[in-house]
Amino acid sequence: MNDQGHRRRRIRMLSLLFAAGLALTACLPGGGDDEEASAGETAGAQTGGGQAGDPSQAGADELVVWDIYVRGTERDVAEQLTSEFEEEHGVTVTREPKNLDDLKATLPLAMGQDDGPDVASVNQGRADMGAIVAAGGLMDLTDFGREQGWFDTWGDNLLARNMFDESGEQFGTGNLYGVAPQAEIVGWFYDRDTFDEHGLEPPATFDELEQLLATLKDAGETPITFGNLDAWPAIHTYGAIEHTFVDTAYLNSLIFDGDVSFDTQENAQAAETLQRWADQGYFTENFSGIGYDDSWAQFAAGEGALLLTGSWIAGELDPEQVGFFLTPGDSAGALPPQTGGMGVPLAVRAGTDAPELARQYVAWMTSERAAELWAEAWLPSRTPAADAVADNPLMGELVGAWDQVLAEDQLGHYLDWATPTFYDALTAQLQELLADRTEPRAFVEALQDDYAQSSQG
């Protein structure tokens, strides 16, 4: 009886506490929403002020930069370039490097605040750049970019990845919100010794590529070093194959407009090819349980003949020992679209006190001088002078490949950008496909379901 009473009283007390908590929040339902709205409005208002570009404002000789150049050569290059910028302009730049996950979590709010960074690395795509544009947090760099000749250097197709309309809804068109000093291109790294040993050359057509894989397999080699425990590497493998079946127009529509279907003959054919490669043992044994880092480390240690991944890994590989080629197409000389793009772009906060200086900083970090330094460890988005890569044959090949892709306007896409949920859907379906748990037809149908659902919502 006494116990019962105790317990009942305790429960009543708990409900009371909870009700009190609810009441606390109830005090500011209007308040909370208004705050959100006004934050957006202020940021919007500041966009106008920012575009007027008044460098004489208070704080115009100081910049705060949040970038992703956290480690090693990247950090050194960013520091070197920043101090050169400080000297030239007689200003103070405070870099606050953060890893990408931290940035993704903190930037959306910071870009709407008065004490947010003036320049920041803003991840591409709807969930990040799009959301911040929608909240009025980013400065439109279109006119500045035209003055700087960015559209001539990089072309509309590449810069479209950093463009949104003002509402942040329509991706790939409208205003330009940033450019990146680094480029990414996905292709085939190969071990020169293994190729020499079997008398192989980089293939000129997709058929030659498949023959090459068969030759390596028959010779007892692991044709492709692959590890898919982290799930995303398969996006690049599938993407490379899929891109040879489609054109850039389809890919642009798929990523930016959402008005095409994923359930196509071409996409199913690509799935069929990928599954066949897995069944024929072209990939590292037990790849489903091997992480990406273990996988490239295996390749760097000389295991496996090929590694299909992005140029970001180049700094980890022996530049003399490893070569690079792009995924070949149906016929020699007909380059199919290649997955790639710019690195995480630098963007300017709409409400910055130093709009002109901030824009100049972005221009400087992506200049030709910057490209020379970036080329030490990372494929630069702008072609560096030839002597900058003279002592690094692998980087030389990557720069050549990037130039070719831009010149032939054959830049494709990371397929997971299609919708916010497509990464999860695609990685899950690819794991099923590679484990023979789904068929190519069911694969494209399932992905189309997700794509259609997400495009509507």
Residue list 337-366, contact with another protein (CB under 8 A) = none
Give me the sign of the Cα torsion angle 421, 424, 430, 433: negative
Residue list 311-330, contact with another protein (CB under 8 A) = none
Nearer to another protein, 123 or 404 (CB): 123
Burial 84-119 (b: 16+ CB within 10 A, else e): ebeeeeebebebebbeeeebbeebbebbbeeebbbb
**Which span sits near another protein by CB under 8 A: 12-20, 342-350, 354-362, 369-377?**
12-20
Q: Which of 210, 230, 263, 372 binds another protein (CB under 8 A)?
A: 230
| Least distance between another protein and beta carbon 451 (Å) | 15
Give me the sign of the Cα torsion angle 128, 134, 137, 143: positive
Q: Looking at the chain, how many residues does it have?
A: 457
Is 304 a binding residue for another protein by CB under 8 A? The answer is no
| Least distance between another protein and beta carbon 292 (Å) | 11
Is 56 a binding residue for another protein by CB under 8 A? The answer is no
E-state strands within 8-106: 62-66, 92-95
Contacts of 74 (CB under 8 A, 6+ apart): 377, 378
Is 452 a binding residue for another protein by CB under 8 A? The answer is no
Residue indicated by tokens 């990939």: 283
Q: How many CB atoms lie within 10 A of CB 253?
A: 14
Q: Which of 90, 285, 386, 387 binds another protein (CB under 8 A)?
A: 285
| Least distance between another protein and beta carbon 126 (Å) | 9
Is 89 a binding residue for another protein by CB under 8 A? The answer is no
Distance CA 245, CA 255 (A): 16
**Which span sits near another protein by CB under 8 A: 103-111, 313-321, 340-348, 356-364?**
103-111
Contacts of 425 (CB under 8 A, 6+ apart): 446, 447, 450, 451
Is 302 a binding residue for another protein by CB under 8 A? The answer is no
Is 13 a binding residue for another protein by CB under 8 A? The answer is no
Is 91 a binding residue for another protein by CB under 8 A? The answer is no
**Which span sits near another protein by CB under 8 A: 236-244, 258-266, 291-299, 404-412?**
291-299
Is 441 a binding residue for another protein by CB under 8 A? The answer is no
Is 113 a binding residue for another protein by CB under 8 A? The answer is no
Distance CA 116, CA 136 (A): 13
Give me the sign of the Cα torsion angle 156, 307, 102, 58: negative
Binding residues (CB under 8 A) for another protein: these are 3, 5, 7, 17-18, 20-22, 24-25, 29, 33, 36-37, 40, 104-105, 108-109, 112, 127, 131-132, 134-135, 228-231, 285-291, 294, 298, 420-421, 423-424, 427-429, 431-432, 435, 437
